[in-house]
Amino acid sequence: MPIDPLIKDRWLREFRLNGFVILRGFLPSTYVETLWEQILPILRGEKDKGDRGDAPNKRGAHRYSFDVGVYAKLLGGPLSDPRYLAHPDVEELVQAILGPREAWGRGWSRIECAFKGSEHMGWHSDQVFDETPDPHAPNRTVRVTYNIPLVDFTWANGATEFIPGTHLQPRAEAAKDLLDIPNVYAVRPDLRRGDAILRDGNTLHRGAPNLTDAPRAMLDQTYRVAKAGTT
């Protein structure tokens, strides 16, 4: 069933203004809990490897990022559920942002996790140069990421911070320009299990330190302007 037109219009306006939109209560919390139960042993295994010094998926001290697509194929269950891999409402919004279905494809399916002891990440864009039409021109959205927080996101466990409006900056200059600005005011949305985020790949963001004993994790499903190898 299509999204209610009024709700869809509000979500898209929020996305275009901020570079991201928070979809409150988007997923059943019971489904997200089953995702967490499936993924937690995988995360613990990755951390064990990191503690032994074997950490190909490490993104910094006590941070990990890796493809979960292979686990979805091997294990099935919640990870292979369309509510994560191909949610119809998400793809309806992606189509409104990126254009007709043949114009874009699904990219990676990943998990991002911060354990206790992690530090601030640097501000960064997920969008890469080879998918950016002109890195020196005002940005046109070519990548959209759908995030599912697997636990409640709070100030204490390192919730993601965003700088609204940076999705409109040229890809080559967005992070560099911050160095010349005396004050940058980021936002750190508190999120509950069942909330989701849809964000422009060029929006500057970073993970904050996790001060708690429990891992803080979220799933990514990326959509991008179609190239060879996408589906």
DSSP secondary structure string, 84-110?
HHS-HHHHHHHHHHH-SGGGEEEEEEE
Q: What angle do CA 35, 41, 44 make, to 5 degrees?
A: 125
pLDDT for 228 equals: 38
Query: Which residues of the chain are under the pLDDT cut of 50?
Result: 228-231
Beta strand pairing call for 63-67 and 58-60: antiparallel
Interatomic CA distance for residues 13 and 222, integer angstroms: 20
pLDDT for 176 equals: 66
pLDDT for 230 equals: 39
Distance (Å) of CA 77 to CA 39, 73, 127, 160: 11, 9, 30, 27
Residues 6+ apart with CB under 8 A from 95: 101, 104
pLDDT for 98 equals: 96
- Kindly state the tokens that stand for 186: 């980021």
Q: What angle do CA 32, 37, 43 make, to 5 degrees?
A: 110
DSSP secondary structure string, 11-28?
HHHHHHHHSEEEETT-S-
Interatomic CA distance for residues 166 and 159, integer angstroms: 19
Rg (CA), the chain: 17
- Kindly state the tokens that stand for 180: 């010349």
pLDDT for 111 equals: 93
State pLDDT tens for residues 124-163.
Answer: 889 988 888 888 888 899 999 999 999 999 999 999 999 9
Share of residues in the chain with pLDDT > 70 (%): 93
> By the 8 A CB rule, do 107 and 223 touch?
yes
